[in-house]
Structure 1
Amino acid sequence: MRKSLLLGLTLVVGLSFSVEPIANASTLDDLKKSQSELNQKKSKINSEIKTKEKDINVNQTRQEQITSQIQALDAKIIEANDKIEKILNDIKITNLEIEKLKESIKELEKKIADRDELIKERIRAVQASGGSVSYIDVLLGANSFADFIDRFSAVNTLMDADRKILQEQSDDKKALEEQKASVEEKLATQEARRDQLVTLKKQMDAQKAEKNRLIDELEKEQAQMVVQKEKLEKEHSEILKISADVQAKIVSEQKRLAEVARQAEIARKKREAEERKRQQASSGVSVPPAVSSGTWTRPAAGRFTSGYGGRDIGEGGEFHYGVDIANSIGTPIVAAADGVVSYAAPLSTFGNVVMVTHSIDGQIYTTVYAHMSAFSSSVGQVVQKGQIIGRMGNTGRSTGPHTHFEIHIGYWAGQSHGSVNPTRYVSF
């Protein structure tokens, strides 16, 4: 599996650096003429692009509205899950209480049955003695005062024993009735809680169905954006087909400015380092996101800034194969589900990236966490849902500190291969 993954990554990186051949222009006059014609075409196409960008912006506003509705449903689904778990726990506790009451009832019934036998023995003894026992006759039959005292003491003992037996029998029967009534009451409560559980599950299923409907609607809107984007890219690419002389001039100018660019890079890295220190100082100690119930959890705490699908980045747009969560550099990034780290290294525009392979109900998934500032995991490491695997950063092609998060069905073999909308599985 690891060899296949590395081969796929190598092909993706290799393809990302391929360049299309450029045509030649013979003279400087030809170059100037080509540039003049190019500028005229640019002006016309730019006007068309601006018109289409307005349509795309309207489309993006609609997507943001749908995304807000999806997030509201996520909150309701999480709340329903919590209520279901509480009810299940209450049912479990009540079942234990009912079992204890049933054991107590068995013991009381045995005690009552045993005492019934004792009382029957007393009755049989009375019948055997002639049908009745007169304690007065026993006392009057004393031979002496000392014998009278002994007989009086014995009679009191027997009377006390009889009264105690009868009182205990009465108390136990009363306790038996109370405990049976308690069991009936708890069983009725259990039935009501189960009905409540069924209702909650129906509500949650309806909310999930509505969420998936909204996601389908969102992806339909995004598919339309992809068509518009491809048309814009085609028109834009025609404008960018310049002559070999223009390309040579650009290369020459780039060589001249190479040192300036190097110095600018040093200055930029210094500014970024100072900005990271400032953000870390202002944000205090960063903490990982709360781990939610279920199979999946949110990979990082922060602000949801970009969804799955087509988006405009100022140059005709692109398809966004994941979601973005923004926060300060150093914010913990956690595994979205149980799995094994299958990649942990820099990769093209992803910058520092970790990939985790999961097996869930027999299905293989791969999650991607891009633009990290640091790794907290290594290839082959088994990780659990909510375990820290890295820190949020600004590496690769990134406009600010954030985590780019993707979910793929199967093994990762490029962004478009097996890509799915993460909001189908994770609540943001």
Structure 2
Amino acid sequence: MKKFLTAVSAVAIIGFGITTFHDITYAEKSLQEVKEERSQIKKSLSDAESQVADILIELKELEKEIAAVNYSLNQNEKMLNEIKNDIRVTEEESEQLQKEIEELEANIEKRFNILKDRVSTYQKTGGAVSYLEVIFGSKSFGDFISRVSAVNKIADSDARLIEKQEEDKRKVEEKQEELQNKLEELTGMQQELEEMNQLIREQKQQVESQKEALKAKETELNNKIKSLKMKDSELKALENKLKLPKVQTLSYSSNTKTSSSNGGSSSSAPAGSGFFAWPTSGGYVSSYMGPRWNSQHKGIDIARTNRSVVPPIFAAADGVVESAGYNSGGYGNRIVIRHANGLKTVYAHLSSISVKPGQKVSRGQKIGVMGATGNSTGIHLHFEVYKNGALQNPLDYL
């Protein structure tokens, strides 16, 4: 189980690493920090995948062991059923023998009574019948011959009765002993097989418990691997953004637009239509619209420039609040504003909301505060634009 313990340790280490990544706002990292964290994630990924591979190998071995245990259990069950059937048959034979014994005992009793009567007659007559008595008692020579033959037959019959008596007793005793020995042997085998089956079941339960524990760790590791890959994808996107030249960030207060530098030298920001004002105070685009993390990013993410300040969120243009509240689809606290020309704007992940549905708002009016509610990796504003229901690139309108 050494591999099993190693896997558990790996899960704990990886889990700690993920918590660390999750608590840091990616938008505020330097390029070097991002590269170092990606390197750490890749190492954790390699370790976790290695542990999963070891677990899969051990699971295969456990499957083989379970199969062998099941085979042994099935074979023992078959033998046990056969022995139980033999015991049943033997018990039926014993019942039948008991009936035969009762009949033999009855016959023995009859023979015993015959011999007893015969002996009693001999005692009364003084012994064996003499030929003279036979002659005197005979009415004719033929009757004499018959009487002599009868006397001989009686003597022979007595001898056979005694022999039969002894033979029947011997058979009964042998049959009783044979059945008793067979029952004792079968009962002993049954007990041994039942004890063996119990041991096999306990062994099977232990192996299955190990399998369940390994499967749980495998699932946990796979979840961590998935999270690590997602974080690595986020960091990769951030790394690509940090490699781009820094751009000028805009700050709006009410309807007045001012510009501020994002910490040093700056260049001109890409030009949009200018229909919408910058929806927050300062900040920069940390994630663009398009494919991201195996899904479609419907808008842009605007991260705060100063980590110590949580900036307000402003209405990008005059309009009417269509909805304002918590969204269970991952947006967290979200506001939707309907503008002129079929345009709508969406503001998501807010920490608080300052407007209500149906309320009219002006360009640059504060409507909430930037946050990290819903599915968010850090404090930022998710901003979407729609025209006549069709999704638009916000950068074309800012």
Range class of TM-score, shorter chain: 0.3 to 0.5
User: TM-score, normalization: structure 1?
Assistant: 0.43
Greater C-alpha Rg: 2
User: TM-score, normalization: structure 2?
Assistant: 0.46
